[in-house]
Structure 1
Amino acid sequence: MHTASLRTEPATPADFARLLALRLDAMRPSLEALGRFNIERSTTRFKQSFCPANTRLLFELHLLVGFSALTHHSDHLHLNHLYIAPAAQGRGLGAWLLDRTLREAGTAILPVRLIALRASPANAFYLRHGFRVSHEDEWDIHYERGLCST
């Protein structure tokens, strides 16, 4: 991976459809493994959580390869989304985007929380990057990474 070819930029409301498509491509195998892939439900969930002001697009040269979304709360930061297009996975782009997202978050010193689908390979990714399981439910694993200067 050549980091010089990577850049982030803010999302706009017009990015919704292409980010939804990227998210569906990235999540589909994990959702299918749980028997839970449903385009309508996934679209509704993404509509409810999509906030362009909190979303950063990841480009490699001129190609959109991922995105992240981080929301500030009074007691934590919540990583709502971090997706890399399947064709671009396995090359360190997710780690680069996670690091960049947290560094761009500002100066708050807060724990970072997120939720990952049980069957997702993202679980190993988050564990490798310092997140610990805080609790689990039927479909998801909840993570937190301790106080983090962002």
Structure 2
Amino acid sequence: MRRSRPASWSLRPATPADVEPVAELRAVVLRPDLERLGRYDERRVRQRLRDGFEPGHTWVIEAEGAFAGCVALRPADDAHWLEHFYLSPHLQGTGLGTAVLRRLLAGWDRDGVTVRLNVLQGSPARRLYSRHGFTPESEDPVDVFMVRRPRAPAH
């Protein structure tokens, strides 16, 4: 049965206090794929997020007023990197991820931003990114690296 998207959701800038809820969500969301790839480490999965957490480039997704996930966009030389896009498991498959990504992509297209990301091999998230115009650039045994060039706004 398909779950329905929350009636209300929003993005807010992350604060340093968000690091632990985000690190915990990362561990929960990535566990199945990391275990399948033989790379799950209970401590490292959280510490890697803590070590790279940049509140200034991160937004918290709230649904019905509660913490629901996060997404980050890290500026780089030739593109921006979409990182740490995690949704609480009970909200996956509801269309919330699609709604968040559509809103972000509209702004990036308007601003002419090329976006890159990497997704774990075999992750269902790859389908979401492909549906929104991300194409594979390269891959290794663990990650698929994808890119999306800005689109002209629809008139």
**TM value normalised by structure 1:** 0.89
Deviations 1:76-133 (A, max 9, x none): 1110121111111001111111122334559531311000011311111111111100
**Structure 1 or 2: more strand by fraction:** 1
Residues 26 and 46 in structure 2, CA contact (< 8 A), matched pair in contact too: no
> How far apart in 2 are the matches of 1:71 and 1:44?
18
Answering whether residue 89 of structure 2 is matched by residue 86 of structure 1, we say yes
Deviations 1:19-58 (A, max 9, x none): 1111111111111111211122212221232100111111
RMSD across aligned C-alpha pairs, in angstroms?
Answer: 2.0
Residues 134 and 144 in structure 1, CA contact (< 8 A), matched pair in contact too: yes
> How far apart in 2 are the matches of 1:35 and 1:93?
29
Mean alpha-carbon deviation: is it higher for 130-139 or for 33-42?
33-42
**TM value normalised by structure 2:** 0.87
Residues 110 and 148 in structure 1, CA contact (< 8 A), matched pair in contact too: no
Match of residue 66, structure 2, among 63, 68, 71: 63
Match of residue 31, structure 1, among 31, 34, 57: 34
Report the identity percentage. Answer: 36
Counterpart position of 2:55:
52
> How far apart in 2 are the matches of 1:100 and 1:83?
16
Alignment size in residue pairs: 150
Residues 110 and 147 in structure 1, CA contact (< 8 A), matched pair in contact too: yes
SS where residue 37 of structure 1 aligns?
A: coil
Amino acid at match of 1:111: T
In the TM superposition, residue 148 of structure 1 has moved relative to its aligned partner by 4.2
